[in-house]
Structure 1
Amino acid sequence: MKRVIFIIVSFVIFITFCLTLGSLELKKTYTDFKEDISFEKTQKFNLNGILKIDSTVVNPKILADKTTLVQFSFNGCTPCRKAKDRFPKLLNQTGKNFQIITISIDKFDFWKPLNENKNIKRWTRLNIGNSNLIKSLKIIGYPTYFVLNENGEIISRPSHFSGIKAIRNYFKIKPNILDLFIEHIRNLLDSNRLFNYVFMYTFLYLILFGVIILLRLLIKKRWVTKYKNNA
């Protein structure tokens, strides 16, 4: 029974160790991010035509005195949803001078009843309404991100998968090992690679375990032979 417990515990420790090593690779995502070439920098972000959930227009003052991450998305966009799942964590890592605005390009009547329209502080959900931002900002893929300064001016256009990375870099957020570990697990789950990952390292564990057992037997045999010769 003790051997079984030892094997199980050692296996869990081994897998955890491998996952931890893999999670350390994510550390660079807190400092590096890709940015699309943008001609909109220093341009004011125009909210004309953008609608709130109550069908009213948006007050431009919403962009004042805060750094803002804007995400253009639509219902059914998997990368958009995965990023939104990580937004609460990002908000917890930043201060009151940061906010997130997500702008859905879905038809207003379709978008309004969606479950994503929940009340979370410093995260505002809006609808594209009659705005011409998609055309004027040349948005052709989703999610599309923009980072705005405290004056509502565009200061960065991160690539499609670098919105969160850009904010981490901007605010110089330093991750702890637990954050990296959890994010690594989520990335594996999102990409359906967790099973393959565990299978690969289980196979490696069995090889290492077999090698250790073999070495132990050889050492034991050598000591037994040496003892008999001395006797």
Structure 2
Amino acid sequence: MIKRFLLFFIPLILFIGIGLILESGKIKIGYKDFNENISFEKNKVFSTKGLLALDSTSINFELFKDKTTLLQFSFNGCGPCKRAKQLFPNLLDNSPKNFQIITLSIDNYNFWKKDNFDKERWTKINIGDSELKNSLKITEYPTYFIINEDGKIISRPNNGIAAIRSLYQITPSTNINLIKESIGELKYTNRFWNFIFMYASMYSVLFAIILLFIFLVKLTQRKIRKSKIANN
């Protein structure tokens, strides 16, 4: 009984593991992705008008001086935004010291106070109902911009994290980290259990086909043996 149990579940775990490896392969492609939405904002100097820090003080242009900046437009209830924030620390640890991330939130100040984190080169700014999001045509979240050392917008990438990884040639340190990242992606997009169910179902069908094949082979062999005995 135990052998039959192991015969089914050990290959099942390996099968799901193969699925995770395939899923992590999709994540790995993103490390070389610099697709962008070319738009009217490109090469314009980014305006800091209306930007407020957590203490409600105005943000001046010095924040962007001599730095490459990834701007993320976000809000508290945005799932993909939260997923991206989970990846920001690793992105900062593997990028040059003149690179920074600035998250711009349309939430009010009270929402920001609940979201507590402390990471060097990562600044959180409240824009509320600022005209900034309208002037930059922000219609979906997260929206990303990359700003160069001169304060000019050089890109509006579809995926800010993938774009920075590509820009600085950041690669995953190990395949295990890739698998962990793919699991995190599945969880944050609420696809993890669907993924497990899908691969378990595929494996069960495959396992049933193999058992049926073995049964038919044995049945054929039995008929051949009976035929030989009858002929003798």
The reply to whether TM is greater than 0.5 is: yes
Number of residue pairs aligned between Structure 1 and Structure 2: 227
User: Which position in structure 2 is the counterpart of 1:30?
Assistant: 31
RMSD over equivalenced CA pairs, Å: 2.7
Question: Quick one: structure 1 residues 50 and 5, their matched pair in 2 at CA, closer, same or farther if it must change by over 3 Å?
Answer: same
Q: Distance in 2 between matches of 1:129 and 1:85?
A: 23
The answer as to 2:212 corresponding to 1:211 is no
Look up the match of 1:106: 107
Three-state SS of the structure 2 residue aligned to 1:71 is: strand
Secondary structure of the corresponding residue to residue 155 of structure 1 = strand
Aligned counterpart, 2:123: 124
| Deviation for aligned residue 1:221 | 5.5
The answer on whether the counterparts of 2:53 and 2:125 sit within 8 Å (CA) in structure 1 is yes
SS in 1 for 2:161: helix
State the partner residue of 2:199: 201
Query: Among 140, 165, 172, which residue is 2:169 paired with?
Result: 172
CA displacement at 1:19 relative to structure 2: 1.9
* Percent identity over paired residues: 46
1:154 aligns with 2:153: yes
* 1-structure distance, mates of 2:219, 2:108: 76
Normalised to the residue count of structure 1, the TM-score between the two structures is 0.83
Q: Secondary structure at the match of 1:50?
A: coil
Change (3 A) 1:211 1:74: closer
- The corresponding residue for 2:68 is 67
User: Within the alignment, does 1:9 sit opposite 2:7 as a pair?
Assistant: no
The equivalent of 2:22 in structure 1 is 21
Q: Give per-residue Cα distances to partners, 1:41-70, cap 9 Å, x unaligned.
A: 222222233221122222422222322100
State whether residues 42 and 153 of structure 1, in contact with CA within 8 Å, keep that contact through their aligned partners in structure 2: yes
Q: Is the 8 A contact 2:79 2:188 kept in 1?
A: no
- Once residues 77 and 205 of structure 2 are traced to their aligned partners in structure 1, the CA distance between those partners, rounded to angstroms, is 43
Structure 2 letter corresponding to 1:123:
W
| SS at structure 2 position matched to 1:95 | coil
Q: TM-score w.r.t. structure 2 length?
A: 0.82
Q: What one-letter code is carried by the residue in structure 1 that aligns with 2:171? A: K
Contact 2:83 2:185 in 1 (8 A): no
Amino acid across the alignment from 2:38: I
Equivalent residues of 2:38, 2:155 under 8 A apart = no
Q: CA deviation at 1:217?
A: 4.1
Is residue 2:185 matched to residue 1:187?
A: yes
The runs of 5 or more residues in structure 2 that have no matched partner are none
* 2:124 alignment partner, SS class: strand
Secondary structure at 1:13's aligned position in 2?
Answer: helix
Q: Secondary structure at the match of 2:195?
A: helix
CA contact (8 A) 2:15 2:203 kept: yes
Counterpart amino acid of 2:8? I
